[in-house]
Each structure stands twice: as structure tokens, then as C-alpha cells.
Structure 1
């Protein structure tokens, strides 16, 4: 993980203007061996697109997506400008943090920096700092909250001496993970310090992972000892605990602590006086004490004429002023949690009762009894009964859709969908339109901040969300609904819901799943209108379990804690899955609603390669998984070190490993990860990025970017335009079809507009020049369709005369595989798209929420079609590649190699591991393995057979 280090800090710089400062930043990267000259130019290009001002005197200049080819190594340089520099956007800058990133490693630093933006005076401190370590310290994350709660208190200890009490307090902090054995050893070697009132204190900073205050109270009287406090120190984070302890001692009732119950004891340590009047009441608001009810609660507190304090009953949180809006919101009180109000003096009882009554009344919101449940989805703002959902059984594998490779084991954190309660109708139309406009503007600002802090594919997709927000048709649809009597919330969600449902109706999963992006945008605005936020995840490592996760949710994930993602809905092509792969987070999607009933905190095994999760694994299975994870980490590290070496089996057989690309901008990254070619370039990205068909020059520029990154020897396999009824283009309307998957798409559609196909082929040939180009037609069913496309290709090639070009077809329709012998007479190569070939062969939509897990490319029927294709191709001297997800499946690689596949094309991140897997295999053994797989009756038995051999 990329982190801020003191040796990257360069102090006391001076600049005449922002250009001079930025030039110095680029020079620092080059002198540090992190980037070439071209990257400095890219820093200026990025600033032309948008200012990289972050806040608090900090800018974070970094290159553009295409400039990654100039990055030699990932790293940062921090340049301090004590006198400040006026940036081009008018802000004053004291620190430039310039980033050279080969992929998305810089996200860790950007997320870290967001924690310092709200700290007052940081900008001035950064300007005055005369030590590199001080700069790093100022930029580090906010201190961890010191722990004091019911678990850190040990009552009724059967101790006969102060030493035994000390041991009990220290041992409890060790059990909670706040300290390690070194802390315990240091504490036991100390003499306790008397605090008076028969209370004692031991303290140490050795072996502390989280500052905390423990307390051990004896079961029976111990001479001169009513209790021993055990303090785990860390920086100054523990100071707040000491201050609270001092307040207790000032009351002169320390000896009484041992006689109090745990709740009363925590109340004293939380700042409540022993003479205070208190009242306890649960929060029943659907979304807890968010801004709107908190504001009303504060107004009630201010009307009491005396100080009223409030705290959460759970834990040992300090009581805060109920008259402070920021303090009340800072409690983070959720529905069902208990609040304790306290006040002292004449009228205190009436004051706390008034607070309790106001909270019971909902603070301006309609509240329901805590025993009731509510669907409360944004699209249906009313309570509806739900059938109880049973969680998956413990230690039982649950199979779903693999979305991002990798394995993890960690506690579960179930993020339940937020509930949005609002009035569906309103009469003040203009007020509602104003509210909606402000909420949309706030959402745009939120996305802009996230985009600045993100980068890579995360920023690209969030930019698309920003464009959705600016869609005038969406806003007009909401305004129409408001004119009809809807509230801002009701009108906005109706517009979102209608648009999302239309998107979901598309047969193409890639486009249909974009509805999730639209709903994600909609919820962001709705959240601003209702004051609703998602619950905060735990501070320890966890596996996120959620109904569906939007791209903005993924972008906010702290990758240092999130070990994996499991969703009830979604598919492998959704943006959330794409982003999980981009961030390197293992993910399994489409697991069904039952996972939402999982209990928070239970351990889970998540296997993103096999699409399998196992809640509450038994010790033996857990141990096996932990060993597998450690072995995988070693394999990944070793594989990356030799990523540029060819993939040659133990008995000398070479298999080419190429990259699947959805954009030419990613070609350089693929080469850096060891790609020997591009095995699939999905060219439709060029067509979808323009409001009309891109002309010849536009396409040449796009394709040439990939060729330049690949160099003179690596081949590029480009699939011609693959759109149709399932993937429509605005400027190329297609009549509605009952089943677009089986309709006018791929080569069939392209042949209806031969001018478009001809322009694309010409652009590819001209961009290639004398570099190796392989062109293939998608969705070919037989030789007749191939010849129709080949006639256009031959005519253009006769004019352009590209020197190294081949023409092939993509095997994704069973008829094409069955007719491979006739096709092999005419093509130069086959590339097998196992994703579509599997779903067409098995008649299972690979994005289907219930059936997708059965759409397994290792099904014997699919393997037999692959075998037929390879045999037909090799009989005519043609080569065969695989460009579907099966090519990166560790279990499938040996089988595919045994079937005779010559090339595997996989996602860029998988290239090193796929190469390393091939190097561990023997061709003859793989051939025997393939025969055994072909003899199995089902995919399940193929998998079982392969697992038994590992």
C-alpha cells in the first residue's frame, strides 16, 4: 500500500507562480526516478481539465490516464512552500503532493488526506513545519478514538491483591485487541500510582494498538484498593479518558465506583454527575438522529433554560451538550439505540423528561414501534410486510457469481439499505423545485470531491454519475411530477425509477445493470433531501455484505479494511464489479436475499474466483483457507516478479497470454502487467462515446493509442463493432425485438450498414501500419456471414495493404463451433468467447439472479464445443484463443490447455497469475485432465474432479 514517508518530503521550496511550482513538482518525480519527462507535461494537462486543489492549502497534481506510460514507479513527492503559492483557481497552496501512479495505488493517500481537510489550522502548520516527520504527522489520519466501554471494565474480580487486579485489567485489554503481551508484561512490572480515594492507576504505551482505559474492580475487599485503572496510552488520544477520570475524582466519590452497576459506573466515567437527573429513551426515527430531527432536539434543549447533556447508552461515550447540533449529530445515534439525557439543579427532572418526550414524538418525523419492520425502499415509500428471510447455514458453501478474483476471510458487516421516509405529495411546487435543485447541486459537489480523491476507473465511472445528474430530461421528468403534486422526493424518485426500469428492461446485461448506477445517483440526491446517510462500517477488517453496492459506495471503501464484497443482486459486468476488480477487492455478486439475514460479526470465507462464500466456517475449513490465502499472496508476488517471462509449461509447451481491453487507454497498463498481446479489444467503446458514428480520423487516433502501447511486435486482436438491440446506439436505432440476444446484433447488424463496418476496418488497418493486427467478426453463425464481412475486409485491405493482418471469427454461437471445420477453411484464427458460448449452449442468462451460478464454462457441453473448434482449427493450421472469463479460472486453465487452446486472453490484473499457473503445468497431464473433464456429466462434477486433484 502506498503511504506517506518522510523521505518523500521536500521542505522550503519557493516559486514565482503556480506553473513554476508545478514544474518543480514534476522535476521532483523525475529526480526521484518515479517518472519520465512526459509525465510533467501531463501534470499541466490535468490542471487544464480541473484544478487538483484538495483543501487546507493542499493540491494533489497527478497525470492523466494516458500518461501512465511515463510512470517508472509508483510514488509521491511532497513539496512545501512556506510563503505559499497562488494556484490558478485562486486558492493559496502551501503543500504540493504530486503523485506518480501506475494504477490505483494512490487511492490510499487520497483517502488518507480527506481526514485532514476539516482540521482547523492545518494549512498554517504545514507552512511552518521545519521537519519532514512533522509534515507526515500533520497529514496522517485522525487519531483513533480511545476506548472505554462495558467490555473494558472487569467487575467482581476474585483478587486478593492489587497485582491480581492489575493483571485482570491488562488481560482484558489484551483480549479486546487493544494491546499485546508486551503491554501486559510492562504493566505487571510497574508499581501502581495512587489516585486517592482507594483508586490506583497503571499506564504504559508499550504494545498499544488502540488507546483504552480498563478498570478492574474486586469481588471482595482488598486492603486500600477499591479499583485499579489500566491505561493504554497512544500519543494524546488517551487524554480525554484521563480528563473524565479526573472529573470523577473531583466529586470525591471514587470509592463508590466499586459498588455501582456497570451502567451507572459508565455514566460516572462519561461525565454524568452522581446527583444528575437522568432519563433513558430509545431512538425510533427510521434513520436515527440525522440533521433534521437532531436540529429539533437541539431546539428543545435550548428551550429548557439549563444545560442538558446526552450520550449513547452503548459504550462509554462522553456525555455532550444537547444544545450543540454538531455534538448531537456526532453521536451517530441510530434507530433502536438508547440515549441518556442528564441535567442538574432545580427543574432538571422536567428538562430531561421534555427531551425524552420530544424524542418519543419523532422530532417532526413519523416514527413506528421498534418491533415493526418496513420495506421502505425509495421506490415505494410505504410500509409493506416482508416474508422472513433465513440466513445461509453455517459452514455451508453458497455459490453465486464470481465478480472479482481473490480470497478473503474476515467478519461480516451487513450494510442494510437505507430507509427513506418522506411525504409523497406537496402543494408548494416552487419550493419543492428549489429543494430538488439544491439537493442535486449538493450531490454534484459530493461527486466532484470523490472524483478528485479517486482517480483511475473509479473517477471515470463517478464522472458518468455526474453526467447523469446533469441530464436535463431527468430533471424535467422530476419537475413534471412536482407540477402534478409530488414532493421533491416523490418527484425525483419517480423520474429515477421510470428511467431505471426502462434501462433494466434491456436484454443486454451490460446496459441493464447500468440501472444500478442510475439508482445510485438517485439515492444520493434522495439522501440529501431526507438527510439520510449510509451506516458507518467497522474500524476493523471486514467483508461488506449488501443488497447491491453502487459505484460511489465502492469508491468510498477503505481498501485497507475491506477484505471482500458480497452482494445479493448484481452481475459480473456491473460497475460495482468492475470497480471491485479495479481496486483489487475480491467480490461475489448475485448471492440472493438470504445473505442480508447474516449476523454482523460472524466470520466468512469469500472466494471471488469460484464465486463461493462460506459463513461461519469450522476451524478446519478456516485453517485451510488461511493457508490458501497465504499461498496465493506468495504466488501473486512471485508471479508479478516474472510477469515479462513467457508462459511455458514444465515440458516446454508455450501458451500466449494476452489482455482483454474495453478501452485503448488501458493497453499500456496491460503491457506493464506482462501482456504478450491484446487478445480482445472491444471496439464499441469508441462508438458509445460519441453522439454520432465516429469518423475515420477519430477511430484511427483511438486505435493507434493501443498499437503505440503494444510496440512493434505484440499483436492486437480487435473485435469489430458488437452492438444491436441489446446494446443500442442513439444514432443507430434498431426496431424493438422480443429477444435482442437472438436478434439483430454483432456482424448481422454491421452488415446492414456496410459503410460503418468499412470505415472501422479501414481505421484499424491504417492505425496498425506494419504492426500485427488481428480482426475478428462477432456473433458469426456460419461461413456465409463470415464471407459477407470478409468481402468488405478484402476490398479495404487491397487499398490500405497492411503488412501483418489476419481475419478471424469469434466463436460464441454453438452453430459456429459445430461448423468450425467449414469455417477453418477460410479464417486465419478463432477466438472463443466462453461467456456467450456458455449462456447460448446452456440457455442460461449469465446475469440471471438465480441461474447465473449454473452458467459454468466448465460444463462438459461447452468443453466439447471448444474441443471441436480447436481440432478443426489445428487441422488447417489455424490458431485458437479463449477471450472469456474461463481463461483466467485457475481450475480451467489446465483443461483449456489440454484441449489445445493456443492463447488465453484475460483481464490485465490476472495476466501474471495466469502465466504462473501455466508454468506449473505439464501439457501431457493437461491433456489427460481434459479427457476426464469431457467424460463428466455435469459442470459440478467437473469442478469436484478438479478440486480433488489440488
Structure 2
């Protein structure tokens, strides 16, 4: 090592070929998120000190350590990729944290063969973690031997004035491509903001020639970053390394804007020649008739400009706190009902209310003499203008969230409650409704919603679907000219608002609705009874739930059991994993809610697009093809062990069945079964719970017979099985309508699964969305499925459907469907053979 004129030469800590950082098979390292550096593919088994210095950090598992050179450069050495998973096995640390070491001194001895066999890669990293202060100049080109010159580190001119190591001024940066559906709009921006607030470092996002602080939601949205755009994120401060890594991960995670948005074929209004009909876009299906009620926004009088500044600031603070309290109540209610979509929407609203850009603008206007009402309105309008000017539909829709907060805070400032009563059965029209409007209208039993503007992926649309409230958007300004109280028909599924329905049409709509209502009542009355086909085949209709509260709803709705308990609800939105006791109590509560019925509990299914704050994972190019389900459990076995222990302590154990997600080969099942047996011995249990496998990937369906030999039951997750079989992302707005689980290819996999299971006397259930589709019920029964796990409100409907079927006929006709050409053809055939009355 030479250290002349602030230039430090690092010697190679390992022997082997040298790689540029961008060629490292790990996105976090390759992106420069950890800092600048090089990599070596090692040919020897001992890591040596690249310079004189002090060991300032040693990884608990021995696979990585950091040395601080005498000039302040901090060099991280990381042996292999994903070697943390070895949990220290195969590594022998030769130094301790705090030790002074000399160049060439052995630091870590490691088992080269073991790492090569068990880890992602042997490639080892030499990273300059405070590279904002130093410039890195590679010396070695292709291959290097231990002790040879590897790279030079020169103090940057701008940093040379710093004689001491000043971590508070450290800055790191990385480039990342945005994978959020639709770009960086409200909800992803809220995630970035939340991530940035977890660190003391100041973080900024740079896009083109614009920058924004990561803790400003509006600033982030105002950058106009679209899906696929490349951005640069920079962090300055003591914990900048950690902040950068977290922000890179947050920017790369795919947060899906819409899980269930119907893809609607829209007809332009000018193409509609039918008199007295306005054509719009379906945001939530349904058919209703009733008087139209126009909802107007708050209009403010002209501002006099003579105000006491302190008084106006206090009024604004009080109004903001009142609205924050209202939103927190909404959030708590949504969390209790496990309504994730509603929770995400209003969490973003709460974040907007705390946004510095918005609050500073309103405060500045008040200090210049504006009334609190006008200052708030103007601050919101200015930010809306920024979003609308970006010319992107999703950002225009997100401006609606700001207008929601404008109305709510103005109401609080003016002391106005929800000051009107809806006529009975009213269909509400407005220029554009806000999420809080929608919740209020739903509580007042509005029959339907129609808007001049808006979109099918808006927050209002998401909430309307969740409430079962028919909703049309993008009807145009003509809808605002319809006289107050005029009788209309809203046919949302077909995108029609009929302005002059005849008495006969009105009567027809009433009759259709009455028939549907009567049928629902009859189905509900029979929901507690078992479901048998006309020729005596018993079909269990269970429920998909995510909490004990949902299990209680399912039980009340007549569920024959829980076909899928998603345990992720226990693990998300928290800083640490739930402990064994908390998990056991939660699982026991679900069992208790279900009386004497069985409960199938799926082990934790995170990874991919479902990330946990306390379980940092590498950014993945294809999350749905990455560390998901049982693969995650193999990487973090302690999480699964803890969960299995909790499950084995519920009572009675005979009613608990365990389901493993994302299994793709028999060995995965055998490993978990062996671990389950070991834990039963540890806990001195003589009884073993049933262990089932989810059929979510084509490989599992094709191996169903082999899996059934060792599993107690199989459960088909048609949502993932569809997207993996058809190679289409089910959350892709342009493809969602084509990801249809009634595709003949899917039906063939379901048939093969049932045949394979039957050879070993195992039963097959379906817990994906297809089980809740009444059109699919006869097909699934015909192919050999004996359990359908559906959303709790549909239990009565699906049981009723089963009771009208002849299982033998279903078997015969279902086999014919396997030879059809498309999902559309299958649906047409189903409608013909088993019409939905």
C-alpha cells in the first residue's frame, strides 16, 4: 500500500478474475447502491487486508467486514453473493471489530467449495462505502493475485477540506428504474416518503432537470415520473447508506395500483347515436334507477384580505388536525375490516396532509394576508395544476385526491358538516367525486354514482367496487346539465346513463333488481345447509379470509370451513415479525370463530411484490418469479419454524390444516414435512396436522400425482396459476381481461391435478378467484374439485349453484370444454350448458 498525497493504493484481498461492479450478479451491488467498487471471482480461500487500517464492522455471520483506512476511506469486503444465508457456516473470522490490521494480514478463512455449491455466486465485492469523499481508479484489468495493486483511492477535491471523517456530510447516490404501475403517483410516492422518513439523512429524487425531497409527496408526484423511467436518488447524512438502499428497494418494488380493476371496452361519446343516453366508462358494475341528485363543491366568496395572521394560522392548524383525526378513524376502521385498498388510499391522504410543500405554500399565503380558506384552496389548486400539466392520466386522477383534501379542510374551516340529505334511492352526479365523498354517499345509501370526469382506476372507483356501488365515470359535462331530480337508469356494466327511460324500462329495471334481491335472500336462507348436487355429490364451500373478524363473517354466512387463511395480515405494516405467542393467539382466534369446522392456514406468502420492512430482500427484475412463498421460507427458515410452532399449539389440532404456497417440486414438500415431524417431536405431540400443497405454478400441476403421494390435500390457486400458465401479468392493465382462468390450458392443468390426486385418494380444492365465479362452478365440479373456497359474501350463491347441478353431466360436459380454443369459447359453452338465470 502506498499513501502518498492523499492517494491510497489498495492491494487485492483475493486472487482471481476482476469484474466491474455492473457485471456483479446482484442488483443492489451492481446498481452502486452500496457504493463504488470492484469484484473478484476468488480462486483462493482466504481474504486478506487490502491496506493498513481498523476493522470498523464485522458481519455476525462472518461473510463481510469493513476496514477504515488511515485516510478515512471505508472499504467493505463481502465474500460471495447471498452468503448471509449460510448463517456463518463455512466462515472462520480471524479478526475482531476494532482491531488494527496491516496490509496483507489474513482476515477471514472460508470454505470455497461450500459457497460454490450452496450460494448464488462466489463473486466477492470490494466496495468503497463512502465514495462521495473519494474517487476510485481501477488498476488491475483482468486477473489479479493476492497482494497485487487493485485500485487507487484519491480524496476528491471538494472533500479535501475535510480533515476528519464527517459522516454527517456523507452523500451517496444510485440510479434506479421505476417499476410502479403507472409511475410515481400518490400511493408509491407515499411509500417512498415513508421510507425516507425512517432515516435521518436528507434524500432527494432527481429526474431530468428536476429534483424533489423524498419526504414531499407532492414534490415527488410533481416530477411526473412514469413507469419505466430512470431516476437518480441521492442521500446525505449519517445513515445515508442504509437510506439509499431502502429507497432503491422502495422505488423498485411493484406496488400495484389496482388489483381488481375491470378492463372495460369504452365507446367514445361521439360514437353513440342513441338518443337520451350518455356513454361513460364502467368503474363499478350494477343496474339501478332513481332520481338524479347533483352534488356541487364548496365555492368561496372573494377574499377581503384583512385578516389576523396568527388567528388564520391557528384556524388552519385546527382544521388540519380535525381532518387528520377523521382520516385516522377511517384508517382504523379499514384496518379492522382488513380493507387494504381503502387503507392505502387514506394513508396516502394522511401523508398529503403532512406534506411540507403544501403546508408551506398555505402558510406563506396566510402570512401575506390571505384567509386560511383561500390560502388552503390556492395551495391545493397550484399543486393540482402541476399534476395536470404533466399530461398523464394517472397523475390527473391523483389530483382528485388533492381536491378531496381541499373540500374536507374547507368544510372544517367553514364549520360545515355534510349538510344535505339524499333523496331515497338517489343516483348522485358530480364533476368528480372524492374518496371521502364516496364513503359519505355510501353511508347515506346512495343507489349509484356518475361523474363527468374520473377514471376506472381512480381511488373512487376502487372504493365504489368495494362498496358494491354502481359507478360510471367520464360521462362528460352533459351529465351536469341533467335537471336535479330527473329519473334516470344507470346501467354501469354497459357504460350507459339513460336520461329518459320509459315507464316500461323503469319497471323492467325494478323487476330485475327485485328478482336478484329475492334470489339473494333465498340463497342466504339456505347458506348454512350443506351443498349437494342433484345426484348426491357433496361439495364443501369454504371461505377465503385474512383475520378472525373475516372468519366470523364467513361462519355467519354459512361457510363449511376456512379454505384459505392468508397469514400475511400478521406480518405486514409493522417493524418486527410477530412472535410465536402472538401468532398462536391469532390462529386460535380464527379456529374459535369457525365453531367445529376445519381451518386451512397458509404459511407466510411474502416476497415478490409483497415486501416486509424488517425482511430486506434484493431488488428483483421479475418479482413474481423470485423469492416467493415456500422459497422465502427456505431462505429464512427461522420465520417458518416460528410459524409452524405457533400452528402446532392451536387446539384442537385436528381442525388445523397447513397449506404450503408456491411449491414447485416434491423435495420442497418433503423438507417441510420432515421439519414439521421434528417440531412435533420437540413439542411432544402425537397428532400431526394435515399438510397440503398449493398448486400455483404449472410445474406443481404437472407433478400433482407425485405431490399427492406425500401431501394430504391439494389446493389450486387459480390467480397465480393463470398468470404463470399464460405468461401474462394479472395486474397488467392491458392484459388483465385476458388472464382468464377458464382458458382451456388452465382447465387441463386443473383436470390433471384432480386425476393425480385421485390416484392417491387425496381431495382437491380451489381457493383462487375462479372458485367465486358461479359460471365456473359446474366446470370445477365436473373436473373433480370437491372444495371451493370463496369470498364470504358469495357462499350462499355458490352453494345454491351447486345444488342445481348434476355432477355426472358436469363431468361429461367439462371434458368436452378441454378441447375448445379459448377462454371466451369456454365461457360461451358454460353459459349455454349451465345458464346463469
Shorter-normalised TM range: 0.5 to 0.7
Residue 602 of structure 2 is aligned to residue 722 of structure 1: no
Aligned length: 546
Residue equivalent to 1:859: 743
Measure the CA separation in 2 of the matches of 1:397 and 1:650. Answer: 45
Using a 3 Å threshold, how does the CA distance of structure 1 residues 473 and 640 change in structure 2: closer, same or farther? Answer: closer
Alignment of 1:179-328 (within 5 A): none
Residue equivalent to 2:565: 681
Residue equivalent to 2:125: none
Residue equivalent to 2:799: 915
Residue equivalent to 1:764: 647
Structure 1, residues 37-67: CA drift from partner, whole Å, max 9, x if none? xxxxxxxxxxxxxxxxxxxxxxxxxxxxxxx
Residue equivalent to 1:31: none
Preserved CA contact (<8 Å) 1:769 1:803: no
The counterpart of 1:556, out of the listed 440, 465, 473, is: 440
The counterpart of 2:709, out of the listed 825, 836, 844, is: 825
The counterpart of 1:812, out of the listed 696, 715, 720, is: 696
Residue 624 of structure 2 is aligned to residue 741 of structure 1: yes
Residue equivalent to 1:444: 324
Measure the CA separation in 2 of the matches of 1:783 and 1:453. Answer: 42
Preserved CA contact (<8 Å) 2:726 2:739: yes
Measure the CA separation in 2 of the matches of 1:418 and 1:813. Answer: 52
Measure the CA separation in 2 of the matches of 1:517 and 1:877. Answer: 55
Measure the CA separation in 2 of the matches of 1:452 and 1:753. Answer: 31
Shift of 1:638: 1.6
Using a 3 Å threshold, how does the CA distance of structure 1 residues 723 and 845 change in structure 2: closer, same or farther? Answer: same
Shift of 1:558: 4.7
Using a 3 Å threshold, how does the CA distance of structure 1 residues 594 and 820 change in structure 2: closer, same or farther? Answer: farther
Residue equivalent to 2:788: 904
Residue equivalent to 1:778: 661
Structure 1, residues 522-569: CA drift from partner, whole Å, max 9, x if none? 455565599799997962525567898765334312567533467964
Shift of 1:910: 1.1
Shift of 1:648: 0.5
Residue equivalent to 2:680: 797
Residue equivalent to 2:529: 645
SS in 2 for 1:756: helix
SS in 1 for 2:715: strand
Preserved CA contact (<8 Å) 2:588 2:651: yes
Residue equivalent to 1:660: 544
Residue equivalent to 1:836: 720
Preserved CA contact (<8 Å) 1:392 1:595: no
Unaligned runs of at least 5 residues, structure 2: 1-219, 225-266, 367-374
Shift of 1:461: 8.5
Preserved CA contact (<8 Å) 1:640 1:912: yes
Measure the CA separation in 2 of the matches of 1:692 and 1:453. Answer: 23
Structure 1, residues 734-786: CA drift from partner, whole Å, max 9, x if none? 23333323332322223221111111121122124434112112223333443
Measure the CA separation in 1 of the matches of 2:802 and 2:347. Answer: 43
Measure the CA separation in 2 of the matches of 1:812 and 1:707. Answer: 25
Alignment of 1:72-151 (within 5 A): none
Measure the CA separation in 2 of the matches of 1:741 and 1:441. Answer: 40
Preserved CA contact (<8 Å) 1:544 1:562: yes
Shift of 1:856: 2.6
Shift of 1:913: 1.6
Measure the CA separation in 1 of the matches of 2:384 and 2:789. Answer: 38
SS in 1 for 2:590: helix
Structure 1, residues 21-45: CA drift from partner, whole Å, max 9, x if none? xxxxxxxxxxxxxxxxxxxxxxxxx
Residue equivalent to 2:242: none
Preserved CA contact (<8 Å) 1:408 1:606: yes
Q: CA RMSD in A?
A: 5.3
Using a 3 Å threshold, how does the CA distance of structure 1 residues 533 and 839 change in structure 2: closer, same or farther? Answer: farther
Shift of 1:707: 0.7
Measure the CA separation in 2 of the matches of 1:871 and 1:890. Answer: 23
Measure the CA separation in 2 of the matches of 1:422 and 1:925. Answer: 73
Structure 1, residues 588-636: CA drift from partner, whole Å, max 9, x if none? 7xx87468876856854658xxx65555499998877655433322222
SS in 2 for 1:880: strand
Shift of 1:867: 1.8
Measure the CA separation in 2 of the matches of 1:435 and 1:391. Answer: 50
Measure the CA separation in 2 of the matches of 1:944 and 1:421. Answer: 58
Preserved CA contact (<8 Å) 1:520 1:550: yes
Measure the CA separation in 1 of the matches of 2:270 and 2:352. Answer: 43
Using a 3 Å threshold, how does the CA distance of structure 1 residues 839 and 462 change in structure 2: closer, same or farther? Answer: closer
Shift of 1:697: 0.7
Measure the CA separation in 1 of the matches of 2:694 and 2:828. Answer: 30
Using a 3 Å threshold, how does the CA distance of structure 1 residues 813 and 625 change in structure 2: closer, same or farther? Answer: farther
Question: Which protein has greater RCO, CA pairs closer than 8 Å, 6+ apart?
Answer: 2
SS in 2 for 1:557: helix
Shift of 1:899: 1.5
Preserved CA contact (<8 Å) 1:447 1:462: no
Structure 1, residues 810-869: CA drift from partner, whole Å, max 9, x if none? 222233323323322322222122223223333444344444333332222222222222
Residue 631 of structure 2 is aligned to residue 752 of structure 1: no
Alignment of 1:349-498 (within 5 A): 390=270, 408=288, 437-447=317-327, 457=337, 474-476=354-356, 478=358
Using a 3 Å threshold, how does the CA distance of structure 1 residues 615 and 667 change in structure 2: closer, same or farther? Answer: same
Name the TM-score, length of structure 2 as normaliser. Answer: 0.54
Shift of 1:651: 0.7
Measure the CA separation in 2 of the matches of 1:488 and 1:675. Answer: 50
Measure the CA separation in 1 of the matches of 2:525 and 2:339. Answer: 29
Measure the CA separation in 2 of the matches of 1:768 and 1:804. Answer: 12
Residue equivalent to 1:934: 818
Measure the CA separation in 2 of the matches of 1:792 and 1:422. Answer: 73
Measure the CA separation in 1 of the matches of 2:544 and 2:698. Answer: 22
Residue 777 of structure 2 is aligned to residue 893 of structure 1: yes
The counterpart of 1:880, out of the listed 755, 759, 764, is: 764
SS in 2 for 1:825: helix
Preserved CA contact (<8 Å) 1:442 1:528: no
Measure the CA separation in 2 of the matches of 1:518 and 1:614. Answer: 26
Shift of 1:923: 0.6
Shift of 1:435: 6.3
Residue equivalent to 1:137: none
Measure the CA separation in 1 of the matches of 2:534 and 2:223. Answer: 62
Preserved CA contact (<8 Å) 1:458 1:551: no
Name the TM-score, length of structure 1 as normaliser. Answer: 0.48
Shift of 1:933: 3.1
Measure the CA separation in 1 of the matches of 2:296 and 2:735. Answer: 24
The counterpart of 1:945, out of the listed 823, 829, 832, is: 829
Using a 3 Å threshold, how does the CA distance of structure 1 residues 522 and 558 change in structure 2: closer, same or farther? Answer: closer
